[in-house]
Amino acid sequence: MSEKRNTPEITRKERDCIMRIVEMTNDSFPVRLCDLSRAMDVKPPSAFELVNRLSKKGMVRAKNGMISLTDDGRRTYDRIKFSHRALESLLVKGGISADTACREIETFDYIVERKTALAILKTIGNPSECPHGLPIRSRE
């Protein structure tokens, strides 16, 4: 029996788009589509398609070429960062360098559920920070 996901499934490119939006806005101002395209190193039509897909999933709001995360998009971002930092801590504890762990985990952190990340953290002693010194916490 498969477990139902709490959030809509996203692709790796959609994950990268969500992460870039947060990195670029720092929760202050919306991102321009042309700047997002440049930051992701994709052509504007590809960025537009990504934003359109995320908009249909309720994760971004786009108006007049300006993009921002919705509350669902922010929750998705928080879940990805939480899972990323938990997995990164596990790999570093296993002897992988922090930078290598970070780079490898970006390929699948978006598919790991919060419940799994919590179990990983419990197994490795519930660290409060990831190997890069960033806090590990969940808003959920």
CA distance linking residue 113 with residue 130, whole number of Å: 18
Q: What is the pLDDT of residue 29?
A: 81
Q: pTM higher than 0.95 for the full model?
A: no
Residue 1 predicted with pLDDT over 90:
no
Tell me the pLDDT of the chain averaged across its residues: 90
Q: What is the pLDDT of residue 27?
A: 58
Q: What percent of the chain has pLDDT over 70?
A: 90
Query: How far does CA 110 lie from the centroid of its chain?
Result: 6
The SS3 assignment for 63 reads strand
Say which CATH topology domain 12-69 has.
Arc Repressor Mutant, subunit A (1.10.10)
Residue 5 predicted with pLDDT over 60:
no
Higher pLDDT, 3 or 48: 48
Q: What is the pLDDT of residue 135?
A: 93
Sort strands 60-63 and 31-32 into parallel, antiparallel or unpaired: unpaired
**How many Cα atoms within 13 Å fall on the side-chain side of residue 2?**
4
For range 78-103, the mean pLDDT: 95
Q: What is the pLDDT of residue 7?
A: 57
